[in-house]
Amino acid sequence: MTLLKKQLLATAVIASSFAPAALATTPYDSIIIEGNTSFLEWNIQGDYNANVVPLFRVEIQFDGTLPPTTSTSNEISYLDNIKFIGLRAQNADNTRYVFGDFDTSSMDSETTYTDGATQTIVWTLSDNNGHDYELSLTSIDALIFEAINGNAFPVNSTSATGEFDFVFGFETFFMSGISETITVNLTDHDEDGIIAGDACPMSNLATMVSLNGTTTPIQNRLGENGCTIMDVFAACEAEQSEQQTGFFQPAYRGSSYCETQAVYSLYRDGVINYNEVRILRSAL
């Protein structure tokens, strides 16, 4: 599996409608794909085929709080975010099935969302025994994810025709099918009341805005995109640390360009008033 160079994204998009904030837990998100098996080949159990197990169900659990490792206009990737895969090809009453459940939390993994003529999601994994796994979903007639602020969010679709493929290493197991439903279960990780399209899934929900050790009298407001004012400045800190090189860095003094622009963007969007601009500029 190709590991992509990790890049931190510092995207701060500020919504015009803000409200007070709330605190957090981190269970996993999941995407469930169900449909009809069109091809199945298992070299160990040759008697299983698409006629014997005509249905398939795949559940992929993933950590939705991780930032993307790469993000371009048409491709977004995440490393080591896959935590569990349940995969079955089965008959209608589930008395016969192929394959099972995998705890993938210790595996190297990568999830790649590609937005082209049709959307695709590819999950690749490799375990400590040298086995490689690849699962892919290509949608034919439905949106299966949305790209928002450099992040990819799977979309719940109760009726989505797509092509699903699974390959288990060393040409041992192949399965293909046509999906009928895609069910996405997203968790409100930070309990801020925003689930779908939450650009900051682990928001800083402090009551007041604090900068450089100073607590300001400004409320840490929450935007419709799931980001608080503190999240905006945290993104600037991530950008700044990404730009630094070497082991020893001089103490950073003064506001960065990102932080300055964040203050004025908050002001332009009506999130803070001019007096609060002055308070934030003094605290930076």
Residue range 9-35, pLDDT digits in tens: 222 222 223 333 443 444 788 999 999
Instruction: Indicate whether 2 pLDDT > 50.
Output: no
| Predicted local confidence at residue 257, as pLDDT | 86
Bridge pairing between strands 82-90 and 75-79:
unpaired
Residue 87's pLDDT band (cuts 50, 70, 90): confident
Instruction: Indicate whether 251 pLDDT > 60.
Output: no
How far is the C-alpha of 284 from the C-alpha of 106, rounded, in Å? 40
| Predicted local confidence at residue 209, as pLDDT | 94
Q: What percent of the chain has pLDDT over 70?
A: 80
| Predicted local confidence at residue 199, as pLDDT | 80
Question: Average model confidence (pLDDT) for the chain?
Answer: 78
How far is the C-alpha of 63 from the C-alpha of 224, rounded, in Å? 22
Tokens of 14: 């500020």
- Hey, CA dihedral for 218, 208, 10, 146, is it positive or negative? negative
